[in-house]
Amino acid sequence: MGDTESCSSRAVDFVPAVSRNQRQKVAVYNEVLRRLTNSNDEESGLPGFEDELWNHFLRLPTRYALEVNAERAQDVLMHKRLLQMAHDPATRPAIEVRLVQVYSASHGNSGDSAHADFPKKKQPQSSDQPLKQSLHPPPAFGSLPDLELAYEAQDKDTGSVIYSRLMHEITISTNDKPKLLSQLTSLLSELDLNIQEAHAFSTTDGYSLDVFVVDNWSSEETYKLRVVLENEIPKIEQDQTGTNPRSSEMSIPTVPIDVWEIDARLLKYEYKVASGPYGDTYKGTFCSQDVAIKHFRAEHLCKKLQKEFAQEVFIMRKVRHKNVVQFIGACTRRPNLCIVTEFMSGGSMYDHLHKRKECFNLQSLLRVAVDVSRGMNYLHRNNIIHRDLKAANLLMDENGVVKVADFGVARVQDRSGVMTAETGTYRWMAPEVIEHKPYNHKADVFSFGVMLWELLTGKVPYDNLTPLQAAVGVVQQVISGFLLPPETVGICQSFLLCMITLYI
């Protein structure tokens, strides 16, 4: 992926949540290390182990530290070992399959469990049993009660009965890629497994750690399940075409059937993040992974919107870069038309500027500029023109890394290298685009320069004019609104002159 800078070590002046996330990682790391040391674990006594364990937490998102069961420190070592195995093609993909004891509570005559959202099938040799001691560990992740809490709840006169069930926990580590999670869930469904819980993590160096708790497989055939997975998962590794004959979902025209198709029933909506004229964006989860869900309203599904939706999916499924928002999948069956991407907890640059009223100093501005430049350079090298680059379409993750988002009007550049037709947002748009003249990737360079001015001044370009007036002003080049703060002119002039040179 070209750029190998560690994301987790970066500090961002205007995002206080970054240091808090780092502290949370440190707390869980210390707890796991303490438990391993107290248990006289052989590996924990090796030279350099503490650094290796910290690097394990550092390369994974904060969500891993928050969700992993720190009391099961050996599980962390297992994840660390699988990720190490994934580095070697000879041992990749690395797979671990084990039985785990899952606990659920029943109130009165209710048969509801903690996982009632999932469709249930007949489960061979995995029926619910009243709580009893088990030789099998609980799952490595999730909010399922541990054995001590389960006994405590049962001892109290609450009318609750705690049931336990043996399930299989499948842990997979391999090369990360945009459609991997969808491929794995499709494979497990084909094996007639019920996914009761799932956790997906991507490392900063391009590997994945995916954990599934499943039922509908005999507890006496754990080895057989492992063999089946070891035979089937490498086929996913070898799939370079991006197509999957297993999928039978109907799709929007111009978007080929692919393994990125997501079952809308697996999406959980939590709260609305933003609203637009044609739909809303929500924070939600997909198989326990935090995601952003861009949902299109059924009443607005005109041909123009369908075309933009298809184009956005077509482009996002092809790109993979740490400074481009990661595409996870899409639902193409009406009325659940939506695009699912990684959730960017830091929000947009527009929100930082105009809602939170935060200011970018030069150091922060350069960090953003470098991140956006890397993402846009990757897109341009792949002949993709964004056409709507602005602060609102730049999102920040929990580590302060800025990524390019929103490819609704992006296009793959024609072989001739030039394009026509006006699109994007007038205030950030290059003159040749507004005038419907031929243009190329340099139109993004113009928008990039306007975006830098926006970040530095904290103002919306041409905020005293209507969008149409701004468009006319850009074309006629008579607006003198692009004035930099006096204290930064000397430093920024050469930088913006460089943008002008690239644009011309």
Residue 470 CB coordination number (10 Å)? 23
Q: Which of 194-198, 223-227, 233-237 has the lowest mean pLDDT?
A: 233-237
Over residues 247-257, mean pLDDT? 40
Reported as a pLDDT band with limits 50, 70 and 90, residue 102 is confident
Q: What is the pTM of this model?
A: 0.52
- Which spans in 382-466 are helix H? 431-434, 442-457
pLDDT value of residue 475: 67
Residue 174, pLDDT > 80, answer yes
Whole-number pLDDT of residue 477: 58
Question: Which of 76-85, 236-245, 397-406, 490-499 ranks highest by mean pLDDT?
Answer: 76-85
Q: What is the CA radius of gyration of the chain?
A: 25
- Quote the pLDDT of residue 117: 38
Q: Which of 75, 388, 397, 444 is catalytic?
A: 388
**CATH architecture type of domain 350-503:** Orthogonal Bundle (1.10)
Mean pLDDT, rounded, of the chain: 75
**In this model, does residue 238 exceed pLDDT 90?**
no
Residue 108 is which amino acid? G
- pLDDT score, position 108: 47
Annotated catalytic residue 388: yes
Checking if the pLDDT of 16 tops 60, the result is no
Sign of the dihedral through C-alpha 373, 378, 380, 381: positive
Compute the distance between CA of residue 236 and CA of residue 381 in angstroms, rounded to an integer. Answer: 27
Domain ranges of the chain: 17-238, 264-342, 350-503
Using CA atoms, how far apart are residues 216 and 226, in angstroms rounded to an integer? 14
More confident residue, 239 or 233: 233
The beta-carbon contacts of 304-308 under 8 Å, at least 24 apart in sequence, are 305/278, 306/252, 306/253, 307/254, 308/408, 308/409
Specify whether the CB–CB gap between 166 and 147 falls below 8 A. no
What is the predicted pLDDT for the residue at 259?
Answer: 61
pLDDT at 172 over 90: yes
Residue-level pLDDT at 133: 52
Residue 410: its pLDDT value, please?
52
Question: What's the pLDDT score for residue 10?
Answer: 36
pLDDT at 176: 87
pLDDT of residue 423: 47
CATH of domain 264-342: 3.30.200.20
Please, what sign has the CA dihedral across residues 66, 25, 8, 402? positive
269 bridge partner residues: 284
- Give the span between the Cα atoms of 420 and 437, in whole angstroms: 6
Span 151-162, mean pLDDT?
53
Give the least confident one: 174-178, 199-203, 270-274, 464-468.
464-468
Structure tokens given for 284: 């939600």
* Amino acid making up residue 488: T
DSSP β-bridge partners for residue 389: none
User: From CA 428, how far away is CA 372, in angstroms rounded?
Assistant: 15
- Among 36-40, 259-263, 299-303, 496-500, which is the least confidently predicted range? 496-500
What percentage of the chain has pLDDT greater than the value 90?
Answer: 22
Higher pLDDT, 451 or 98: 98
Q: What per-residue confidence (pLDDT) applies to 500?
A: 52
Confidence of residue 157 (pLDDT cuts 50, 70, 90): low
- On the question of pLDDT at 323 being above 90, the answer is yes
Contact 474, 503 (CB under 8 A): no
The two three-digit tokens of residue 294, written as one number: 């861009």
